[in-house]
Amino acid sequence: MRMIRSILFLSAVTLALAFKNPHYATGRTTMVHLFEWKWDDIAAECERFLGPRGFGGIQISPPNENLVIWSRNRPWWERYQPMSYRLVTRSGNEQQFANMVRRCNNVGVRIYVDAIINHMTGTWNENVGTGGSTANFGNWHYPAVPYGRNDFNWPHCVIQGHDYACCADRVRNCELSGLKDLNQRSEHVRTMIVNYMNRLIDMGVAGFRIDAAKHMWPSDLRVIYDRLRNLNTAHGFPSGARPYIYQEVIDLGGEAISRNEYTPLAAVTEFRFGMELSRAFTRGNQLRWLVNWGPQWGLLGSGDALTFIDNHDNQRGHGAGGNILTHKRPKEYKGAIAFMLAHPYGKPQLMSSFSFHDTEAGPPMDGSGNIISPSINSDNTCGNGWVCEHRWRQIFQMVAFRNTVGNTAVTNWWDNGGNQIAFCRGTMGFVAFNNENWDLNQRLQTCLPAGTYCDVISGEKSGNRCTGKSVVVGNDGRAQIVIGSHEYDMVLAIHMGHQSRL
Ligand code: QV4
Ligand code: CA
């Protein structure tokens, strides 16, 4: 009896953890959302930058066919209007997709697919997909899947703003801004979705972002997840590995639907994370309070949380929660990103954007709507309208910091009682932040062996010297740490990796 009970207990634990492992290559910790990138460009970026720099994975834009919306000049959000599960979009076709996944996996970088399985397109005047498919909106007919009337939720209704507070069933069974709402209790719908996701798994992807997960019943999602195949061992995954699944549930509190309904299934996007850190790094809160950052702040358990500062929605005022830091406030943004990457809580995701003024505008494109590739400048930053935050030194160097410090704990927390803080990660790394109007100039414990280290924020190691600040650690582990309030960045970071240690 006791044995049966412990077997049952163990299998419940394994089930709960099953979809929460990103299956990064050894020593990697961080993924980046390459928003609206083309597959060929991603493959090249894996080989020339992400692989060598130790990135763990990439969230890609939805790979399935979407409605072409010229009446709005091809907004970025047309990709959230599915026409079919054919792998043809402005990012590339099926062959280019397969090629990207193989080339990225070969250099240790995993691919995570943004899966839109809650709905199909809304009704529009135009009616051709990126793969040439058409639909009959009035009949809820999507022949390229195929879906028909019986595959959608009835009676027809549209989610109203106040539904989020009162009515979970309406949030899940009505349309999200007019997008035709699939019924995931339909056996045919389940089969079509599972076939789509399994095809991607066979092609070597490592997992999925579940778009609009809040708008689907957890019990239906569980059936779908359980039918997914294990990751493809021919792409280097261990046998028996389940896909990594992180569900988009925006839960800032006070709604009928809670993120806790989804954590028993798989990981969840933790939107409170970026909201709180944005507030702290814009001085809406003092950095010293971050001493107990994590669940004590009302955040999810660390293993359940996909963490980020901004995403493709809230960086442009879509979705929920305003005042999120983005690349448009670089000093504060890099501070918040550095804290995310230096602190052990959560599984971090970086945002990599195209620049925009118009919040609806699509990616850089030519007159025919083709996406223009990012160019790479001599200083390794991007051009042609691409921001490429992941190529900012202060950001990619902190990815290396996180990889180096591994599972070490936060120790030797120091603060000035306000907006200057510092801490060690075991004996592997040290980081300091100055978000005051005056300089930080303190002799602090770095927990590192005596020696000279290059600060990876103000510069980098070049041969046997530092292009930015050097930090000399004494035999007692202490070093003089200086971050002027008018410096370009508010962070200083040193660690045991070859990028920092002289
Ligand atoms: C319009 C009207 C509606 C009307 C409808 C009638 O606004 O009132 O009912 O026409 O046809 C676009 C337009 C929107 C339009 C809609 C329907 O912006 O005006 O409705 O299409 O055709 C992205 C954008 C949306 C966009 C959608 C589809 O953000 O603006 O809608 O793509 O193209 C909640 C959810 C959360 C969601 C978030 C944005 O809980 O799940 O809102 N986040 C995800 C994605 C997001 C995406 C979707 C979900 C939908 O991250 O990018 O929405 O797939 O918080
Ligand atoms: Ca729904």
Q: Which atom of ligand 1 is nearest to the CA of 213?
A: 41
Interstrand relation of 410-415 and 420-425 (parallel, antiparallel or unpaired):
antiparallel
Question: So where are the chain's domains?
Answer: 2-117+187-269+354-387, 410-500
- Cα 83 to Cα 79: distance, rounded to the nearest angstrom: 10
Tell me, letter by letter, the H, E, C secondary structure of 96-136.
HHHHHHHHHHHCCCEEEEEECCCECCCCCCCCCECCCCCCE
Which regions in the chain score pLDDT beneath 70? 1-16
Ligand 1 centre distance from Cα of residue 492 (Å): 40
pLDDT at residue 51, rounded to an integer: 98
Was domain 2-117+187-269+354-387 assigned CATH 3.20.20.80?
yes
Question: How many Cβ atoms from other residues are within 10 Å of residue 400's Cβ?
Answer: 23
Ligand 1 centre distance from Cα of residue 484 (Å): 44
Tokens of 279: 């507030």
Q: Which helix (H) or strand (E) holds 483?
A: strand 478-483
**Catalytic center residues:** 211, 248
Taking the domain 410-500, which CATH number applies? 2.60.40.1180
- Please name the residues in contact with 405: beta carbons below 8 A apart, sequence gap of 6 or more: 342, 425, 426, 428, 429, 495
Q: Which atom of ligand 1 is nearest to the CA of 178?
A: 9
- Cα 257 to Cα 163: distance, rounded to the nearest angstrom: 10
Q: Which of 80, 114, 248 to mutate to test the pocket of ligand 1 (most atoms within 8 A of CB)?
A: 80
Among all bound ligands, the one having the nearest atom to the CA of 181 is 2
pLDDT at residue 16, rounded to an integer: 65
Backbone angles phi, psi at 47, to 5 degrees: -75, -35
Question: How many Cβ atoms from other residues are within 10 Å of residue 248's Cβ?
Answer: 22
Ligand 2 centre distance from Cα of residue 177 (Å): 11
Cross-strand pairs, 376: 382
pLDDT at residue 1, rounded to an integer: 46
Q: Which atom of ligand 1 is nearest to the CA of 75?
A: 33
Give pLDDT tens digits for 432-485.
999 999 999 999 999 999 999 999 999 999 999 999 999 999 999 999 999 999
- Please name the residues in contact with 388: beta carbons below 8 A apart, sequence gap of 6 or more: 352, 374, 381, 382
What's the number of CA atoms in the CB half-sphere (13 Å) around residue 163?
A: 17
- Cα 300 to Cα 294: distance, rounded to the nearest angstrom: 8
pLDDT at residue 14, rounded to an integer: 57
Interstrand relation of 31-34 and 347-352 (parallel, antiparallel or unpaired):
parallel
Q: Which residues are near ligand 1 (CB < 6 Å)?
A: 77, 80-81, 116, 122-123, 158, 176-179, 211-212, 214, 248, 250, 313, 318-320
pLDDT at residue 4, rounded to an integer: 55
- Cα 90 to Cα 365: distance, rounded to the nearest angstrom: 10
Among all bound ligands, the one having the nearest atom to the CA of 163 is 1
Ligand 2 centre distance from Cα of residue 98 (Å): 30
- DSSP codes joined into one string, 213-277: GGGS-HHHHHHHHHTSPPP-GGGTPPTTPPPEEEE-----SSSSS-GGGTTTTSEEE-HHHHHHH
For ligand 1, atom 37, the nearest C-alpha belongs to 319
C-alpha to C-alpha distances, 401 to 133, 343, 406, 421, 492, nearest whole angstrom: 46, 10, 9, 17, 12
Among all bound ligands, the one having the nearest atom to the CA of 212 is 1
Summary count for the chain: helices (H), strands (E): 10, 20
Q: Is the separation of the CB atoms in 483 and 492 below 8 Å?
A: yes
pLDDT at residue 17, rounded to an integer: 85
